[in-house]
Amino acid sequence: MDRKVEAKVRTVLVVDSSASDRELTTAALAKSERRLKMIAVEDGQQALDFLTCRGAWKDRLPISPAFVLLDVKMPRSDGFDVLRRIRQAPELSRVPVVMLTSSNGHEDVRRAYELGANAYIIKPLVVSEYFNAIHNVASVWGALNHSPR
């Protein structure tokens, strides 16, 4: 992609170890009527590589995504670790992070907010409700929200 065009595209980072959930989430985002470029990765380490322009992402422009959809339970680096590291990095600390997970435990919700999550959404089990939830997230964080540059 042309670097000038890349700078104008609003990116969403989808981080989920489940291939079917990544596919469902990116399909829901694509259908949300928002002009967003979806990047989907399967674990926390890949997410951190994308966010910090390392590894496979070393040549991308260091532009923060419009928002991150982050699962909790993942291999290598779980969602809490990724969230903590995002909030500790000055260049990433203001990126909106929406936890999108099947975990509904009080402790997980509490911990996510203590680490700086902007929202915590439990994945709906009904596909139409899942699409609706993603549409709402994309509306708020991908269109209505204005983050500082």
Q: Is residue 119 domain-resident? A: yes
**Rg of the Cα trace of the chain?**
14
More confident residue, 37 or 115: 115
Q: Which of 60, 16, 71, 8 has the alpha carbon at shortest distance from 37? A: 8
Q: Is residue 149 domain-resident? A: no
User: Crossing angle for the helix pair 19-30 and 127-137, nearest 10 degrees?
Assistant: 60
Q: Which helix (H) or strand (E) holds 109?
A: helix 106-114
Query: What's the pLDDT at 149?
Result: 63
Number of domains in the chain: 1
4-33 per-residue burial string, b: 16 or more CB within 10 A, e: under 16: eeeeeebbbbbbbbeeebbebbbebbeebe
* Residue 123 belongs to domain with CATH number: 3.40.50.2300
Q: Is residue 109 domain-resident? A: yes
49: containing domain: 3-144
Q: Is residue 22 domain-resident? A: yes
43-73 pLDDT, tens digit each: 999 999 999 999 999 999 888 899 999 999 9
Interatomic CA distance for residues 41 and 21, integer angstroms? 11
Q: Is residue 45 domain-resident? A: yes
39-49 pLDDT, tens digit each: 999 999 999 99
List, in sequence order, every residue forming a beta bridge with 48; answer none if it has no partner: none
